[in-house]
Chains A and B, each alone.
Chain A
Amino acid sequence: MNQSDDVFSIHRRVWELIPWVVNGRASGEELRMVEEHLADCSDCREEHEFQTRLRAAMSAEPRPDTKADGVAAAASLQRLWQRVDGEEEPALPVVRRRASSSFARGLLLAVLIEAVGMVALSAALWTRDSPPPGAPLYRTLSAPAENASRATIRAVLQPTLTLGELQALLERAQLQIVAGPSDAGVYSLAPQPALAVASAQPALAQLRAHPGVRFAEPIDAARQPP
């Protein structure tokens, strides 16, 4: 190989390395070789400048993170947890798939018990909410607003809380959801209709004690719920 072959081969090698020098991922030795060559080669210098500007344009963030980005990320994460929780139980992850068949039978039994429980709960709620004879069997669109004003507690739930756990917790605390979740994930809770005058304190204590509740606070009677 004569000297001009050598120069040409270095030129080709350097030209190929330029993007990795520009993004900081070339090795020390590669970087030295490129720097030495750039001192003598205007073509490669120009290419290096071009790639540097290209990278600057591609890596610049169009705007700083906003509060809305945070809210979008939180909402997206919540949807992912719902998916994980929804899919993990019936289709167990690979590592847990080797569980014994008695575990699988136990799981099936648990699902059946939960299903029976949900039917019973629905029946109980149906009975409680039955309108008096002669009352219309529909609700107007304005009804929820009226409902929301009954709210006595605001709560934010953990994304890990399952629907079943939430139903059980609300039943125990004798509460119902009257509004929400708001954009910030806040639920407005009210005593079940038969207990409209009950104090919020025992229910509040139950919510706060539950690991699936991030926070719960009473709503000042003078203020409206969100």
Chain B
Amino acid sequence: MRAEAVTPPQPGTKAADNDRELALLRLVAQGDRQAFETLYADYYRRLGRFLARLTQRQELIEEAVNDTFWVVWQKSGEFRGDSLVSTWIMGIAYRCTLKTLRRAGGAATEPLVEEYEDTGAPEVHAQQELRDWVGKGLRHLPLEQRTTLELAYYMGHSCEEIGEIMDCSVGTVKARMFHARVKLRNLLPALGGMTGRAKA
């Protein structure tokens, strides 16, 4: 993470999360299975949800999660701390996912339609409708643009971190973000002009 090397991490949870994850990863490098299981539990749901935007096939999601953590287990000793642990893990996840999706063929890159818990509350319905609607818009974006948005808005990564994760320049990240935004403005015009169509 080039930018963070110059500017200290923003105050808040990012730096604290990284200290914790770094401590766990150091233990994993020594073969500590309990530390590995803690890290796995931290990422399992988040990674699964992130991958659900890239493929609708649950078995491929699980395969990619376990491929990712298999590499984490194998390579933890090689992590030098040049980036955030989360950036390193997400980079592995991205490569593993691309490999899994290539093997599974083109039809595998449709995003998963999430199932919602229906609590009967109107605000939950509204939220659900909004998410459905945004999900449909995202489906029209190419995989790289969808991944860029997801890394920024769901995982909370910076532009530089996304460049490292997707192994591309910051300029490419900006270009993908630009095209994704323009396309979504056209696909979801109502999102800009009101407080959510679902609330109407």
Chain A interfacial positions (CB closer than 8 Å to B) = 16, 19-20, 22-25, 27, 46-47, 49-51, 53-55, 57-65, 69, 73, 76-77, 79-81, 83-84, 93-95, 160
Q: Are A23 and B37 in contact (CB under 8 A)?
A: no
Q: Are A94 and B74 in contact (CB under 8 A)?
A: yes
Q: Are A59 and B153 in contact (CB under 8 A)?
A: yes
From B37, B131, B156, B177, give the contact of A57 (CB < 8 A): B131
Contacts of B33 in A (CB 8 A): 81, 160
Q: Are B159 and A50 in contact (CB under 8 A)?
A: no
From A23, A69, A80, give the contact of B153 (CB < 8 A): A23
- A27/B7 contact (C-beta < 8 A), A57-B130, A57-B134 known: yes
Is B65 interfacial (CB 8 A cutoff)?
yes
Q: Are A62 and B114 in contact (CB under 8 A)?
A: yes
Q: Are B153 and A55 in contact (CB under 8 A)?
A: yes
Interface centre among A16, A19, A47 (most CB of B within 10 A): A19
- Beyond the given pairs A69-B45, A77-B40, 11 more chain A to chain B contacts, judged by CB atoms under 8 angstroms and listed by A's residue number, are A20-B152, A23-B156, A25-B158, A47-B192, A57-B127, A57-B191, A62-B116, A62-B128, A80-B69, A83-B70, A94-B75
Q: Are A76 and B62 in contact (CB under 8 A)?
A: yes
Determine chain B's interface SS by DSSP, over half rule: helix
Is B143 interfacial (CB 8 A cutoff)?
no
From A49, A51, A73, give the contact of B44 (CB < 8 A): A73
Nearest-neighbour CB distance to chain A for B200, whole angstroms, equals 13
Contacts of B12 in A (CB 8 A): 24
Contacts of A53 in B (CB 8 A): 130, 191-192, 195-196
The 5 closest A-B pairs by CB, nearest first: A50-B192, A63-B117, A25-B158, A57-B134, A55-B153
Contacts of A83 in B (CB 8 A): 66, 70
Contacts of B115 in A (CB 8 A): 62-63
Contacts of A73 in B (CB 8 A): 40-41, 44-45
Q: Are B70 and A19 in contact (CB under 8 A)?
A: no
From A23, A49, A64, A84, give the contact of B152 (CB < 8 A): A23
Contacts of A94 in B (CB 8 A): 74-75
Nearest-neighbour CB distance to chain B for A10, whole angstroms, equals 16
Nearest to A26 among chain B residues (CB) is: B158
| Complex: A25 Cα to B156 Cα, angstroms | 8
Determine chain A's interface SS by DSSP, over half rule: helix
Can you offer 21 A-B residue contacts whose CB atoms are under 8 A? A22-B153, A23-B152, A23-B157, A24-B156, A25-B152, A25-B158, A27-B7, A46-B192, A54-B184, A54-B191, A55-B153, A58-B138, A62-B114, A63-B115, A76-B44, A76-B66, A77-B40, A77-B41, A80-B40, A80-B70, A83-B66
Nearest to A81 among chain B residues (CB) is: B33
Contacts of A59 in B (CB 8 A): 153-154, 156
Nearest to B52 among chain A residues (CB) is: A62
Nearest to A46 among chain B residues (CB) is: B192
| Complex: A63 Cα to B116 Cα, angstroms | 6
From B73, B157, B193, give the contact of A84 (CB < 8 A): B73
Contacts of B177 in A (CB 8 A): 19
Q: Are A50 and B178 in contact (CB under 8 A)?
A: no
Q: Are B131 and A60 in contact (CB under 8 A)?
A: yes
Nearest-neighbour CB distance to chain B for A81, whole angstroms, equals 8
Is B110 interfacial (CB 8 A cutoff)?
no
Q: Are A49 and B192 in contact (CB under 8 A)?
A: yes
Q: Are B131 and A54 in contact (CB under 8 A)?
A: no
Nearest to A17 among chain B residues (CB) is: B159
Q: Are A58 and B149 in contact (CB under 8 A)?
A: yes
Nearest to B148 among chain A residues (CB) is: A19
